[in-house]
């Protein structure tokens, strides 16, 4: 008997997150595994449903079929659904999970899962742009902004947009093994597994408000990243005691001065890897890590990939950064 995958369809459904499950689970691939999955498009609400791009979606199934499915996929949805999902939808998701269904969100679909309470006390992710809002709304969820997807067994979540592919292939890998997932990826002409996480795609951590008393010290630090920088030295530039500086730094930026320095050095290293021909050893000196080994260690911790991999993926033809 085919494994049933229910795809939740709400109005203004993102096209990409609709297309990926249809590609992975909706195409007959019984020549690889027989039986293949059975995909059911389940309406989350009455009336005519369209994607965010205006395409009308035929949804022959409803929430009762979603409750009975083996796997439930919850893609992104319009903001009103994220903030205040209908009680009937929340009840359906809880009922599906209670009867043993595997529930997985794609991108901002994590909001719906979090609203049900299924993510409380669990690791989860969603698009990096939603990180501040998501963590504020759902403090009981252990949010991981750097990964492509999180597998908590019966509940899974994926990062922004393109990570929908990674999660769907991961589900196939769990169900049928790596060889089958690799073959599906080959037919889709995508990598079966991507290195790193979404941290490599997110922009650098924002600095303090330009009118903040810390702003001059931060600008000075950015201009002197190649030098040995300490909290004492930064505090002196800010005309504050080290203890006061560290406290106000955390209150303003939500992190420590040394963690912020590492992030800034990695940011400049990213730009140099994209725009210059400088070897990794030279970049390590220019950004203040000193050695290539130190650069690789901190770079991988922040972006989840190596400097060499990052350069291969993001190399651009543009004027070098001064």
What CATH number does residue 267 fall under? 1.10.10.60
User: Is the CB of residue 47 less than 8 Å from the CB of residue 36?
Assistant: no
Last residue of a domain, one of 200, 229, 263: 200
Instruction: Inform me whether the pLDDT recorded for 179 exceeds 90.
Output: no
Q: Is 92 exposed, middle or buried (0-12, 13-18, 19+ CB in 10 A)?
A: buried
On whether both 184 and 243 belong to a single domain, the answer is no
On whether both 228 and 126 belong to a single domain, the answer is no
Please report whether residue 109 resides in a domain: yes
Please report whether residue 100 resides in a domain: yes
* pLDDT number for residue 317: 40
State how far the Cα of 319 lies from the Cα of 234, in Å rounded to an integer.
31
Instruction: Inform me whether the pLDDT recorded for 206 exceeds 60.
Output: no
- Burial track 240-277 (b if 16+ CB lie within 10 A, e otherwise): bebeebbebbeebbeeebeebbbbbbbbbbbbbbbbbe
Residue range of the domain that includes 258: 215-314
Q: Identify the CATH number of the domain in which residue 55 sits.
A: 3.40.50.880
288: closest CA among 270, 269, 306, 301? 269
> What tens digit of pLDDT does each residue of 217-252 get?
998 998 999 999 999 999 999 999 999 999 988 887
Total domains, the chain: 2
Instruction: Inform me whether the pLDDT recorded for 147 exceeds 80.
Output: yes
On whether both 49 and 129 belong to a single domain, the answer is yes
On whether both 83 and 191 belong to a single domain, the answer is yes
On whether both 108 and 238 belong to a single domain, the answer is no
Please report whether residue 322 resides in a domain: no
Mean pLDDT along residues 176-201:
83
Residue with tokens 């939808």: 89
Please report whether residue 9 resides in a domain: yes
Mean pLDDT along residues 312-317:
66
Please report whether residue 206 resides in a domain: no
Please report whether residue 300 resides in a domain: yes
Tell me the chain's radius of gyration from C-alpha atoms: 23
On whether both 295 and 172 belong to a single domain, the answer is no
Element (H, E) at 183: helix 178-188
Which pLDDT band holds residue 74 (cuts at 50, 70, 90)? very high
The top-scoring range by mean pLDDT among 28-32, 208-212, 309-313 is 28-32
* pLDDT number for residue 145: 80
* pLDDT number for residue 17: 95
């Amino acid at each position: 008997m085919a494994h049933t995958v229910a795809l939740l369809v709400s109005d203004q459904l993102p096209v990409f997150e609709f297309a990926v499950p249809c590609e992975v689970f909706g195409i007959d691939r019984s020549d690889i595994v027989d039986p293949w999955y059975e995909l059911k498009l389940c309406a989350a609400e009455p009336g005519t449903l369209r994607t965010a791009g205006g395409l009308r979606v035929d949804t022959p199934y409803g929430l009762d079929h979603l409750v009975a499915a083996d796997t439930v996929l919850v893609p992104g949805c319009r903001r009103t659904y994220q903030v205040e999902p209908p009680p009937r939808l929340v009840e359906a998701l809880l009922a599906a999970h209670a009867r043993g269904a595997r529930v997985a969100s794609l991108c901002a679909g994590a909001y719906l899962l979090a609203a049900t309470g299924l993510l409380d006390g669990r690791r989860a992710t969603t698009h990096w742009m939603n990180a501040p809002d998501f963590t504020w709304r759902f403090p009981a969820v252990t949010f991981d902004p750097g990964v492509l997807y999180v597998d908590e067994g019966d509940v899974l979540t994926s990062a922004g947009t393109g990570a929908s592919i990674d999660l769907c292939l991961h589900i196939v890998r769990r169900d049928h093994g790596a060889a089958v997932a690799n073959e599906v990826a080959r037919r889709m002409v995508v990598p079966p597994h991507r290195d790193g996480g979404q941290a490599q795609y997110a922009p650098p951590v924002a600095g303090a408000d330009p009118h903040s008393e810390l702003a001059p010290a931060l600008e000075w630090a950015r201009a002197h990243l190649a030098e040995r920088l300490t909290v004492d030295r930064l505090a002196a530039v800010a005309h504050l005691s080290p203890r006061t500086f560290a406290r106000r730094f955390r209150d303003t930026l939500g992190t420590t001065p040394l963690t912020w320095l590492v992030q800034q050095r990695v940011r400049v290293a990213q730009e140099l890897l994209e725009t210059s021909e400088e070897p990794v050893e030279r970049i390590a000196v220019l950004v203040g890590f000193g050695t290539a080994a130190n650069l690789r260690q901190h770079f991988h911790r922040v972006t989840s990939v190596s400097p060499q991999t990052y350069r291969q993926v993001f190399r651009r033809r543009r004027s070098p950064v001064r």
